[in-house]
Chains A and B, each alone.
Chain A
Amino acid sequence: MRFLGPRSISSLLKTALDVVYYGLFAMIVAVGIAALCLLSVPTLAAEVMARMKMVAQINGTQQAILMLAFGLSLSGYLLIMRWTRQVFRTLAEGDVFHPDNTLRLRWIGFGLAGVELYSYASRALAEAILRMPVEPVYGMRAVTAWFSVLVVFVLAEVFKEGARLRAEANLTI
C-alpha cells in the first residue's frame, strides 16, 4: 500500500477532497439563493413552515441573515479545502516537499483559526441580537480546534525544512 504518488492513498484522498470541495461549492450557492429568496419574500419562510406544520422562532429576515452567516462560514471551509486540495495534488504527484506547500499549509492554519474565531463571533452575535440559545464551546472541543491550528503551523515549518533540504540536495554535486 503506497501513501504518496499516483494511485496511492493521497491520490484517493485528493479525489475525496475534490468531491467535498464541489459539494461545498454547491451548498454555498444553494444557501445564497435561499437567503436571497428569504430577503426578497420575507413571508416565504413562515409560509413554508406553516405548510410543514412547524413554528419559526425567528422571522424571515433573521433567517436570511443566519443563512448568509452560514454561507460565509462555508466559504471559509471552501478556501481551506482549496488549499488542502493543492497540497494533496502535490502529494499525489509524489512531489512532497514542493516549495509552495509551506505557504499553503500556513494559509490552511490561518483559515482554520479564522473559521474558529468566526464561529465564536457568530455565536455571540446570534445570542446577543437574535436571542438564540447557543450551546457554549468548552472542554476538548475548544482545545482540539486550536491544537489542530498549531499542528498545521508546525507541519508548515516541517515542509519548509523539507523544501530547504531538497533545494540543498539539488545543489549538492
Chain B
Amino acid sequence: MSVTICLSEQLARRRLSLVELSDRTGIAVRHLELLRDQKAVAVRLRTLESLCRALNCTPGELLVIKDEE
C-alpha cells in the first residue's frame, strides 16, 4: 500500500491550474509538480494545511491509500 496525493483530481474538480494554486498557497510550481507527479517523498504539515485551505478540502480528500499492484 502507498499513500498518494490526489492533486490532479482536486485541481480538475475546481478547474484550477498549478500556477493558480501556487499563487494561492505560495508553494513553488516546481514543488507542486513534484506533488502532482507523485515524486515527493514527504509532505510537511504546513504544506498540507495550505493546500487544504487553498483547495477547500480535508487532508483525507487530498491523501489516499492505494494498493500497489
Whether B43 is near chain A, meaning CB under 8 Å from some CB there, is yes
Whether A173 is near chain B, meaning CB under 8 Å from some CB there, is yes
Residues of B within 8 A of A173 (CB): 27, 31-32, 34-35, 40, 42-44, 47
Whether A57 is near chain B, meaning CB under 8 Å from some CB there, is no
Interface size bucket, A side?
under 10
Whether A128 is near chain B, meaning CB under 8 Å from some CB there, is no
With the chains together, A173 CA to B43 CA distance in Å? 5
Contact flags A155-173 to B (C-beta < 8 A → 1, else 0): 0000000000000100111
With the chains together, A172 CA to B45 CA distance in Å? 11
With the chains together, A172 CA to B31 CA distance in Å? 9
Residues of B within 8 A of A171 (CB): 34, 39-42
B residues with a Cβ closer than 8 A to A are 27, 31-32, 34-35, 39-44, 47
With the chains together, A1 CA to B15 CA distance in Å? 54
Look across to chain B and name the residue whose beta carbon is closest to the beta carbon of A167: B41
Chain B min CB distance to A131 (Å): 64
Look across to chain A and name the residue whose beta carbon is closest to the beta carbon of B28: A173
Between A and B, 22 residue pairs with Cβ closer than 8 Å are A168-B41, A168-B42, A171-B34, A171-B39, A171-B40, A171-B41, A171-B42, A172-B40, A172-B41, A172-B42, A172-B43, A172-B44, A173-B27, A173-B31, A173-B32, A173-B34, A173-B35, A173-B40, A173-B42, A173-B43, A173-B44, A173-B47
With the chains together, A171 CA to B40 CA distance in Å? 5
A-B residue pairs, 7 tightest by C-beta: A172-B42, A171-B41, A173-B31, A173-B40, A173-B47, A171-B40, A173-B43
Residues of A within 8 A of B34 (CB): 171, 173
